[in-house]
Structure 1
């Protein structure tokens, strides 16, 4: 069953967090036997660091044929590509530029993908969490809202028909569009939900009063991804493209908390060391969502290797 068909529950990011801290490693059904990505073309956004980088390395070990790294820093992306090519000679690796704060960059990436002979799997991993208020220079929107929701939504909508056309074996293996979400969306208060117009209300500096406000902004962008995935799933049949949302778990070394300082930085470091998944462990949640799951996850939130209501 998909998330939309399950009975209502009392969702809580804390419950998810407790589960994550006790289930860091993938179940044996995911890791043994491992899936193969031979003859598959996979696009990963935010692939030069954190979970995205670990996932790229993991795909290479799983025999992916063509790996496309969509990154903000072409220099860093090229370094990762060189590392992968040196070790995995049978994997073709390309690096495409992607600035998630720019609509032009998002559309340019889609045009590049549309020229590919094949595209089977897309995982939208790029994300952002800021402690302080910042705006995207090219759009004027608050940066976290721009990257985590607006640009992710645009990229998803534009890539969906590309996946439908370019997946070479969708009769037996549908295309896959997996967006990286977060259980923090389950606790978002969404105080501006009745604002008219709605979109500008996410970018008001007056709503930022510290850590609690930045946490709420991050959470509500992830909440909006739940809605996005449900609507995208209505736009395409699972026989063509399976669309789902995956929670990688509380993970260290991702760069999301890089804006923290002082005592907060020390607390984050301690919590990461005690209970966080490694990027390698988190990368297996992506494998589960795109390779070990089928049409039952269409329009669903996959958390801790199960469909979450």
Structure 2
């Protein structure tokens, strides 16, 4: 990390948008701590009628709910729903519950993982790929029917996937160009931060591919807006698996304090990205502007990678959740 760039972004945080979400129903995954909690708090403060926290731990979710209601003075506006991103049955149950809502206006897919060591999840995929790419994609796809039904003349529902500008730093090898998911699923040479960056590249491809399907041409409005956002380098618990001892944790705390944004500052981008309208579809929002496409997803090779990642993600998901096929074709 470039210390100068980190200082520059720390002292130039995103604007906190002055906007009302009155009447809106908002879902935030990973909403019990860090960026997810701060985003949920902002939506509640800005008037959202219902904020749903998708969390692994209901106990931690309840603590977050109590804190949000205490800080806002608003009771009964926050709900806590269980969501285990490594389990497709949990994701399907979460979506089933969402289908019972009157409407869903905004979905912030923030739950993510930065793993220290290589480990394989329930469906045979490395855990970072499973959570950040496959499960996030599945949740977005399964929510599409509800989001389509929630569209009005004045509001197009938004799926916002939390990504990272680090996706642009991934050097895509020839092997990864031909089979990205399979190549990045290998244990050889695994390194947690690198794998996290790769997962964000893959999810950028999913956003691009899904956006094209939600808006086949520029003359029509998207059925649902899907966008991605980077909060910048923020002091959160995302990399807690890498903090293996007291001295590393202390050094990290000092480094974060000197160079990183707060979670509150990062969450501002989560809010502002949801109010950009149709222009946000398929785009990447960071530091209050849409960023140009990274070189690794630009041009003919980039488009091929986008299409291939989408194909591999859908193929993998459809083995365990065959009902998604009809939602994406």
Tell me if both proteins adopt one fold, taking TM over 0.5 as the criterion.
Answer: yes
Contact 1:189/1:220 (<8 A) preserved: no
8 Å contact from structure 1 (residues 254, 279) kept in 2 = no
**Which one of 100, 117, 123 corresponds to residue 132 of structure 1?**
117
Corresponding residue number in structure 1 for 2:203: 225
> CA 1:220–1:17 in 2, change beyond 3 Å: closer, same or farther?
farther
Report Cα offsets for 1:91-149 as digits up to 9, x if no partner: 5221111111111111111111112111100000001101112222x222111111111
Q: Secondary structure at the match of 2:90?
A: helix
2:91 and 2:253 map into 1 onto residues whose CA distance is 33
Equivalent residue for 1:117, pick from 102, 108, 116: 102
Rounded Cα–Cα distance in structure 2 between residues aligned with 1:216 and 1:133: 12
Q: Secondary structure at the match of 1:277?
A: coil
Runs of 4+ in structure 1 deviating by more than 6 angstroms, as ranges, are 12-16
Structure 2 match to 1:92: 77
Q: TM-score, normalization: structure 1? A: 0.84
Partner of 1:105: 90
| Pair 1:193-2:182 in alignment | no
Structure 2 length normalisation: TM-score?
Answer: 0.80
* Aligned mates of 1:186, 1:15 — CA distance in 2: 19
In the comparison of the two structures, how many residue pairs are matched? 284
The reply to whether residue 207 of structure 1 matches residue 172 of structure 2 is: no
TM-align CA RMSD: 2.3
2:56 corresponds, among 72, 75, 78, to 72
Aligned counterparts of 1:155 and 1:199: Cα–Cα separation in 2: 18
Please tell me whether the aligned partners of residues 19 and 304 of structure 1 are also in contact (alpha carbons under 8 angstroms): no
Instruction: Describe the superposition over 1:190-239 as per-residue Cα deviations: whole angstroms up to 9, x where unpaired.
Output: 3341455x53433322232xxxx222111110001111111111121345
Q: Is the 8 A contact 1:38 1:63 kept in 2?
A: yes
Report how far residue 287 of structure 1 moved: 1.0
Equivalence for 2:265: 281
Q: Please list every run of 5 or more consecutive structure 1 residues that lacks an aligned counterpart in the other structure.
A: 1-11
Task: Give CA deviations for 1:130-176 in whole Å, capped at 9, x if unaligned.
Answer: 1112222x222111111111101111111122211124xx3112111
Partner of 2:213: 235
Q: Is the Cα–Cα contact under 8 Å of residues 67 and 91 in structure 1 kept in the other structure?
A: no
